[in-house]
Amino acid sequence: MAKAIEFEIGKYIDELKGIDDVLYDPRSWSPDSLSEACNNLEFLVSSGDYNDRPGFEFEFVVLQYLFRRFFYLSHQTGLYNPQRKLWALLAQTKKVKIKDYKIWSSKNRAHTRISDIKLQDHNGFYIKARIVHPGSEMEMPGLRPLLRVGSSKCLGLFYFSQQEPNEKLLNKIKTKTNASDPFDRFKAPIKDASLNIVRYQVESGKFAFKLIYPDLGKDIVTYMDFANKTGQAAEGV
């Protein structure tokens, strides 16, 4: 298993507004100012070396999607209202840890890799994002264990895969998240956490992300690559 890596999250330019500022008056933000806030982020490595972590480029693209694109998408589509706890915690995340998720089943293990990203604020509340790496062969691996939330500190769950849940699994997810309720249909609650399932595809060297659950009824695809870099946190920070 690859070694874990940890980040600290902060503003790239302190004098400019960041996504935490959006929380004070979300409706006052224009698309352009919101985009600028989402891009005013700095990812500082506090533990580990991303050069020694295979697959890090994909993991880092997913990490950036969460901060730079999902936060923006939630605001523009209104998803931030039912998923307010997750959205606010994303804006206030201070620490991130990326590590491998162990696959217990031996079937296709050699051709499947899963990573977990934990995003945490100063108070210990966190979001967990489980990502299935490109080329993995198992069917929706690690999704069912992800749905068994055991902590009230967990306010958000993400699952990234090139696959989509089949009808049987999707119906179970809908039942678990009370999707028949007009509000919970978009909140997608599992205890105190909101669930989001994101499908991705690799197209011409870029990653195309689409939120498939909850279903927003919009064909919104986000394209990302490995354009943004990281830095090293200073000693003692």
Q: Which tokens hold the place of 123?
A: 């108070």
What are 177-218's pLDDT values in tens digits?
Answer: 999 999 999 999 999 999 999 999 988 778 999 999 999 988
Q: Which helix (H) or strand (E) holds 43?
A: strand 42-47
What are 74-131's pLDDT values in tens digits?
Answer: 999 999 999 999 999 999 999 999 999 986 666 656 678 999 999 999 999 999 999 9
- Three-point CA angle 49, 51, 55, nearest 5°: 110
More confidently predicted of 129 and 141: 129
What are 27-42's pLDDT values in tens digits?
Answer: 999 999 999 999 999 9
- The structure's pTM equals 0.93
What are 161-185's pLDDT values in tens digits?
Answer: 999 999 999 999 999 999 999 999 9
Whole-number pLDDT of residue 110: 64
Whole-number pLDDT of residue 105: 62
Half-sphere exposure in the Cβ direction for 177 (13 Å, CA): 28
Helix (H, G, I), strand (E, B) or coil at 156: strand
What are 38-65's pLDDT values in tens digits?
Answer: 999 999 999 988 888 888 999 999 999 9
Helix (H, G, I), strand (E, B) or coil at 42: strand
Q: Which tokens hold the place of 1?
A: 């298993």
**Across-strand partners of 206?**
203
CB within 8 Å of 145: residues ≥ 6 apart: none
- One-letter amino acid for residue 98 of the chain: I
Segments of 133-191 assigned E as strands: 154-161, 189-190
Question: pLDDT-based confidence at 149, cuts 50/70/90?
Answer: confident
- One-letter amino acid for residue 71 of the chain: F
Distance CA 110, CA 73 (A): 35
**Cβ-based neighbour number of residue 231 at 10 Å:** 13
Q: Which tokens hold the place of 233?
A: 């946190």
Whole-number pLDDT of residue 235: 36
Does pLDDT of 232 surpass 60?
no
